[in-house]
Structure 1
Amino acid sequence: MAKPMTKTQLLAALADAMGSDKKSASAALDAVCGVITSEVSAGGAVTLPGVGKIYCRERPERMVRNPATGEQIKKDADKVVNMTIAKALKDSVNG
């Protein structure tokens, strides 16, 4: 498996694709990340066309096991961020 793209590499690729400098690409990436964070933390969802849908879902209260002792512990309900990958992206990877 290839190493993940770093933020610096992503900014360079984004700036090249936009035909602008890295500073404006950084501002655009920060703005997109900020919008996604605020929307998902408020309970909404964000769809990135061709990539997928990022959303928050609630997990119910459940029993978990402490791996060190094997003891069963009751864990309270919480929220988790999920992402459903778009079919177009899956097809481009597998095609």
Structure 2
Amino acid sequence: MNKSELIDAIAAEADIPKAAASKALDGMIAAVTGALKQGDTVTLVGFGTFYVGERAERTGRNPKTGDSITIPAARSPKFRAGKALKDAL
């Protein structure tokens, strides 16, 4: 399912116009992104939790030359599914 299909599904489920569903989805994405940027977690009970994962600095290898390189520490978004979502699957 892509974004336009998700908008169609939201509009049909909530019985609202597609334009309103698109604005609602864009608002939700912006709110989750903003919260994660601030380091907060976003918990949707029954669905899951969005949070920021930390990766430590590590040493890797350049596959072309075989030289050791340092891969810097990074933050990345993560999602942990809730119980209701897991049970639905």
TM-score normalised over the length of structure 1 = 0.85
Give the C-alpha shift of residue 72 in structure 1.
2.0
Give the C-alpha shift of residue 49 in structure 1.
2.1
> Which of 5, 8, 21 does residue 9 from structure 1 map onto?
5
1:1-95 equivalences under 5 Å are 5-93=1-89
Distance 1:51 1:79 in 2: 23
Deviation track 1:13-62 (CA, whole Å, cap 9, x = no partner) reads 10011111000000100100000000001111101222211111221111
Structure 1, unaligned runs of 5 or more: none
Give the C-alpha shift of residue 87 in structure 1.
1.9
Residue-pair matches, total: 89
Q: Which moved more, 1:45-54 or 1:64-73?
A: 64-73
Distance 1:67 1:85 in 2: 35
Distance 1:60 1:48 in 2: 28
Runs of 4+ in 1 over 6 A off after TM superposition: none
TM-score normalised over the length of structure 2 = 0.90
Distance 2:71 2:86 in 1: 34
Distance 1:81 1:69 in 2: 31
